Amino acid sequence: MTDHDDAEDSFENSMAAYLDEAEHAMKTVKRGDVVEGTVVSIDRDEILVDIGLKSEAVLPLKELSSSGYGSLDEIHRNDTLLVYVLQPETPEGHAIVSIRKARQERQWRVAHEMFERGDIIDAEVIESNKGGLIVNLDGVRGFVPISQIMNLKREDSAENAETLSKLQAMVGKTLKLKIIEINRNRNRLILSERLAMQEWRARRRDELLAELQVGEVRHGIVSNLAHFGAFIDLGGADGLVHISQLAWSRVNHPSEVLHVGQEVEVQVLSIDKDRKKIALSIKRAEVDPWSTVEQRYYVGQLVTGTITKIAPFGAFARIENGIEGLIHVTEIYPPTNDAKTSLREGQEVQVRVLRIESDRRRLGLSMRAVAEPTAAVGMSDDLLEQAYQQMPPETPTPAAPTPEAAPVVASNGNASARQAEDAPTTAFGAAFAQARRMVESSPNGRAADGETSGDNDA
């Protein structure tokens, strides 16, 4: 290389340095500007940041964020930072900048990116007013109008005391939201919980339908009650528990055993991915009490029962959740020919166990045997059978209904009819069979062992 070439290179380098210095010299900043800079060095007291001026800006450690973005642990040499100009120039010729004050501007930029992408975000409610809720989006205040809040109606107004109470109760809670309007110049950030939850639940429903397995037990929350059953939120998608699947005992309305917001364990009965429906069971997630009834009760045992159903032939009494027995009219005390004259639903009575047929889910109870223990307690099966034979003859039990006539139909179109019971061979069996038929045909009654295998349409 010649001396002439060396001179040309030196001249070009000098010119580049001069132009770069001139560019820095021409750039100016004022208090309140938010600019990008590159970290040059980090020491115990301050951080030097190149923001394009002739001298590096000083970022005091006290102007760092306490945690997260902009904290000392998160800053490294050559990182690009957004800083707020506190002082354009000190006597020493350095600008003083702050990350804390620049964080809000940075979050506005992040919010705009979220808006462009259509992100669903989480934000804490920090205030409420007559129009809706104020949320904190990492330093930026956003507004959620009443019309965009999930648990309020669009026509609700905070002038209403109940609505105002609901709004105030939401302060401190974290909501899923979606930005529907953003205007940095006007400091305007509007968000919607309704739109966010609709999209999130639709997304979550598809995920659940793909991951759920028939037979598995899941945790859920009761989201709604209807006369035909209860809807359970599985974490983004609702499944239906038909009324026959709520409990092992007879349930006339879901509100008898559940309330909205209650946490429950459910078993997945069926999944219809095409119709996006999930059939659930609460009782299947529990142990069938009839499977162990003979471990807890014995013939002649004195127990307390609650009358649940009264009919001309006698009454049903629940001795524990899921276990009901029949008190035939001849076993009511004082003696009567009409159970309705002596008993009422909800009444507690002392009874003795006369017979246990766990395989057929039957239990014979007696009030008379409590008042007159020698009349039944300790009686042999033959004597007890003879006592029941003294009752008027009953009509033989008909066969179980066909699937087309079954009271509960599954969502896949197949009725879940129970198997036909054996013809009664005892007076007790005949009485119990007649009781079951009358309860099933009554407006509020239903088969105690009627099962569903799928989702039911309302």
**Residue 375 binned pLDDT confidence (cut-offs 50, 70, 90):** low
- Which listed CATH number (2.40.50.140, 2.60.120.1140, 1.10.1740.10, 3.40.30.10) goes with 105-198? 2.40.50.140
CATH for 18-101 is 2.40.50.140
Q: Rounded to 5, what percent of the chain is helix, strand, coil? A: 30, 30, 40
pLDDT score for 450: 37
- Say if residue 409's pLDDT is above 60: no
Q: What is the mean pLDDT of residues 210-215?
A: 91
Question: Is the predicted pLDDT of residue 299 greater than 80, yes or no?
Answer: yes
Give me the CATH code for the 211-285 domain, please.
2.40.50.140
More confident residue, 232 or 441: 232
CA 35 and chain centroid, separation: 45
Q: What is the mean pLDDT of residues 300-304?
A: 93
pLDDT band at 102 (very low <50, low <70, confident <90, very high): confident
Please provide the DSSP assignment of 33-97 as one string: -EEEEEEEEE-SSEEEEE-SSSSPEEEEGGGS-SSSTTSGGG--TT-EEEEEEEES--TTS--EE
Q: Which amino acid is at 254?
A: P
Architecture of the domain defined by 289-389:
Beta Barrel (2.40)
Asked if pLDDT for residue 240 goes beyond 70, the answer is yes
* Portions of the chain given CATH number 2.40.50.140: 18-101, 105-198, 211-285, 289-389
Q: What is the pLDDT of residues 411-421, one digit of tens each?
A: 333 333 333 33
- From 391, 357, 352, 394, select the one nearest 373 (Cα to Cα): 352
Q: Indicate whether 43 pLDDT > 60.
A: yes
- Please check the confidence at residue 80 and state whether its pLDDT lies above 70: yes
Reference 288, options 245, 317, 238, 329; nearest CA is 245
Task: Give pLDDT tens digits for 161-204.
Answer: 888 888 899 999 999 999 999 998 898 999 999 999 989 888 88
Kindly report, residue by residue over 307-348, the tens digit of the pLDDT: 998 988 899 999 988 899 999 998 999 988 888 888 999 999
- Give 286's contacts (C-beta < 8 A, 6+ positions apart): 248, 265
CB-neighbour burial class of residue 433 (10 A; exposed 0-12, middle 13-18, buried 19+): buried
Read off the pLDDT of residues 345-357 as tens digits, 9 standing for 90 and up: 999 999 999 999 9
